[in-house]
Amino acid sequence: MKKSVIALMMLSGLNVLSVAHAATPGQEAFVDRMYRQALGRAPEPSGFASHIQFINSGFCTKEQAGQVARGFFDSAEFKSFNLTPTEAIRRVYRAVLNREAEPEGLANAVAAVNAGTSVAAIAASFTNSQEFITTQLPTYCNGAPPVNCNGAAVGATKEEYWPFPEYDFPRQIGTTKDFLGREVLLCQKTRYRVYNKFVCNSQGAWIQEFPRTRVFDGFESYQSSGFICF
């Protein structure tokens, strides 16, 4: 298991030889649970220390927790058990969400494994769930709030409307008389409200996603004394 941890750290661009930080109760509990629920045993000191070092080397995020979970369930030791999909997913629930699997969730995850999804991928995906973010991530972050965007969890989204409307190119819908009795064009343009979607990244910053979304907000009619609507 230790070799798998070191390989994961190298792939993540981390310095394996850096000095490890002091372990905190939240980190110890998370790693200990991974060992006991995924591998069915107590952690060995060297592997335990490597996992703690990896956790402390980066931001406290659900993505990092997913890397840790994936490492355990993708290890040669776990694969050597040759568990049935049902038992493997039960271990994922206990390790990642710290609870027993509910029937519907268990059935869906087992079906995914039978369709070709790896148990490791499912374990990592569990860390993206709202349940994990709400019930497990604060403990994983050693009792401190996870990296956030003004109180929002990593991965949260929000929508903000642009204060000014946007318009399509106007079109002529007829003619009319202006206040002097002259014939002028009657034009119309479609008005939209525009909103942007933002996502909270692992550094705690709101990042705008593209494309923007436009919502129909009515028509505006007006007169034009020119030859075309503009």
The predicted pLDDT at position 54 comes to 84
pLDDT (tens digit, 9 = 90+) per residue, 159-213?
A: 887 777 888 889 999 999 988 889 999 999 999 988 888 888 766 677 777 767 8
Query: Can you spell out the DSSP letters for 37-54?
Result: IIISSPPPHHHHHHHHHH
Range 98-107 average pLDDT: 94
The predicted pLDDT at position 140 comes to 77
Rounded CA-CA distance 202/65 in Å is: 12
The predicted pLDDT at position 141 comes to 74
Contact 200, 63 (CB under 8 A): no
CA atoms within 13 A on the CB side of 127: 23
- Contacting residues for 54 by C-beta, under 8 A, at least 6 apart: 5, 8, 9, 12, 14, 67, 68
The predicted pLDDT at position 24 comes to 64
Domains in the chain with CATH codes: 2-146 (1.10.3130.20), 157-224 (no CATH)
Is 130 or 3 the better-scoring residue by pLDDT? 130
- What confidence tier does 152 reach under pLDDT thresholds 50, 70, 90? confident
The predicted pLDDT at position 20 comes to 37
- What confidence tier does 1 reach under pLDDT thresholds 50, 70, 90? low
pLDDT (tens digit, 9 = 90+) per residue, 109-124?
A: 999 999 999 999 999 9
Helix (H) or strand (E) holding 81: none
Rounded CA-CA distance 153/146 in Å is: 7
Most confident of 22-26, 69-73, 130-134, 160-164: 69-73
Rounded CA-CA distance 110/107 in Å is: 5
Range 201-228 average pLDDT: 81
Predicted structure pTM score: 0.55
- Please name which of 164, 165, 149 lies closest in space to residue 208, comparing C-alpha atoms: 149
The predicted pLDDT at position 13 comes to 33
Range 58-80 average pLDDT: 89
Range 65-84 average pLDDT: 95
Contact 38, 96 (CB under 8 A): no
pLDDT (tens digit, 9 = 90+) per residue, 4-54?
A: 443 443 333 333 323 334 456 777 888 999 999 999 999 999 999 898 888
